[in-house]
Amino acid sequence: MLKTELLEIIANGENSGVEFKRDDIRPEQLAKEVVAMANFQGGKLLLGVEDDGTISGIQRPNLEEWVMNVMQDKIHPLILPFYEEIKQDDGKSVAVISFPQGISKPYVVRDKGKEEIYIRVGSTSRLATREQQMRLFELGGMLHTEVMPVPRTDMSCLDDARLTNYLKDILRDPDIPNSPEAWQARLLGLSFLTEAAGNIYCTIAGLVLFGKNPRRYLKQAGLRVLAFKTQDKEYQAELDEILDGPMVGRWDIDDSGKRLVDGGVIERFMDAIGPFISQEAGEIDEGLRRETQWFYPLEAVREALINALAHRDWTRFVEIEVGSYADRFEVISPGALPNSMTIEKMKAGQRSPRNTLIMEVLRDYSYVDFRGMGVRTKIVPLTRALTGKEPEFVVTDDYLKTTLYR
């Protein structure tokens, strides 16, 4: 790092990715700041700089060795930072400890027989709340929320007809359970049910895929579908509906093909949004019909919705929101991208499913293709071909928003 770069960082002050400290900091305090930033988006810790940005310089002998020992003794899993010392014109030096966002979250501080998880909030490092810890465990792949039990549920909350359809017609399973006990055993094996504290509950995956009324027990399930005539949300929407029910449809499959018997949330959504993302042609064609003109490619619309259903973060207590506006179509999926995934990796075709069980069931039904590259093979090229515009992906700590422009 150049001196000019360091001075610019100091001039901009502390933020969520930059922390100033004297080099007489205690080992557990250094570990706390590193852990908090690693659990967020990574950052830089400057030793030898006062809180007000004054450079006091480093005094501790063998500082690099001391820092590395703190990393090894106090932080778990191990973080290997980049260490450098930048000497100023007045002879004082600043140590810069740099590290990227951690890929093995949550990182913890080990001190006095305890493990504590910290996160970065603005320019401060704080103990993570229970909900924040859940998200970190989930991001690190150590907590699979889709197989967690849903309180107040049992096997009767699931749609028998859809489960039979799934095993018999979708999976072609030759051994269909013939008693409640056999069904319970099979559904436990499939992780649609789980046992906790001596009771049997639906898992989140089982409930949202096959539940009769998932939102009755899981308020963030389902979809909120909105439609507006303008480019912004108005008080009076043309459509404002919550869709509840099993995610998958019930299908009749025989030698002649596959026929939908009873639509799930995916099919009901496409029916509900259709009138707001299309119009009839002004002229009658040679078959004496008015052709429907679509503002967006239907496959891209469907893929954006299915991505949200498959990858949403179940630790977020809000439903997926889908909106049709005068100039665009938006899908807002709760939760940031899984751990090391980025928009660039997603567009390149890299796969990192958050909810692998839900994803596999959707793939069984052919809602998701076996490549799992819907962004690269459907959303981007189909939108570009129909509208001449690139789809937009915006990710924050709270949501992923996919926008198709009309």
Q: How many residues does the chain have?
A: 406
pLDDT tens digits along 8-53: 999 999 999 999 999 999 999 999 999 999 998 899 999 999 999 9
Structure tokens belonging to residue 365 = 């039904």
- For 205, 263, 301, the CA distances from 208, given in Å and listed in that order, are 5, 14, 20
Contact 399, 322 (CB under 8 A): no
Q: SS3 of 254, please?
A: strand
The distance between the two most distant Cα atoms of the chain, rounded to a whole number of Å, is 88
Mean pLDDT of the 343-350 span:
83
pLDDT for residue 136: 85
pLDDT for residue 342: 83
pLDDT for residue 284: 67
**Residue 196: in which H helix or E strand, if any?**
strand 193-196
Q: With b meaning 16 or more CB within 10 Å and e meaning fewer, what string describes 269-297?
A: beebbeebbeeeeeeeeeeeeeeeeebbb
pLDDT for residue 103: 76
pLDDT tens digits along 85-110: 999 999 999 999 998 887 788 999 99
Asked whether the predicted pLDDT for residue 122 surpasses 70, the reply is: yes
- Distance from the first to the final alpha carbon of the chain: 45
Please identify which residue in the block is written with the tokens 């630790």.
315
Burial zone of 320 (CB within 10 Å; 0-12 exposed, 13-18 middle, 19+ buried): buried
pLDDT tens digits along 150-179: 999 999 999 999 999 999 999 999 999 999
Contact 57, 93 (CB under 8 A): yes
Q: What is the mean pLDDT of the chain?
A: 91
Asked whether the predicted pLDDT for residue 57 surpasses 60, the reply is: yes
Among candidates 197, 237, 204, which has minimal Cα distance to 222? 204
Please identify which residue in the block is written with the tokens 């078959």.
287
d(C-alpha 217, C-alpha 396), whole Å: 27
Mean pLDDT of the 129-152 span:
83
- For 227, 319, 369, the CA distances from 241, given in Å and listed in that order, are 9, 12, 28
Query: 278 falls in which pLDDT band (50, 70, 90)?
Result: very high
Q: Collect all residues with Cβ–Cβ distance below 8 Å to 9 and sequence separation of at least 6.
A: 18, 44, 46
pLDDT for residue 370: 61
Structure tokens belonging to residue 353 = 């499913």
d(C-alpha 376, C-alpha 261), whole Å: 31
Structure tokens belonging to residue 208 = 């949202």
% pLDDT > 90, the chain: 72
pLDDT tens digits along 228-237: 999 998 778 9
The phi and psi torsions of 299 (rounded to 5 degrees) equal: -65, -35
Among 141-150, 248-257, 292-301, which is the least confidently predicted range? Answer: 141-150
Structure tokens belonging to residue 295 = 């503002």
pLDDT for residue 352: 73
% pLDDT > 70, the chain: 96
pLDDT for residue 373: 76
pLDDT for residue 397: 81
pLDDT tens digits along 175-206: 999 999 999 999 999 999 999 888 999 999 99
Among candidates 153, 115, 117, 149, which has minimal Cα distance to 134? 117
pLDDT for residue 403: 97
pLDDT for residue 141: 66
Contact 303, 205 (CB under 8 A): no
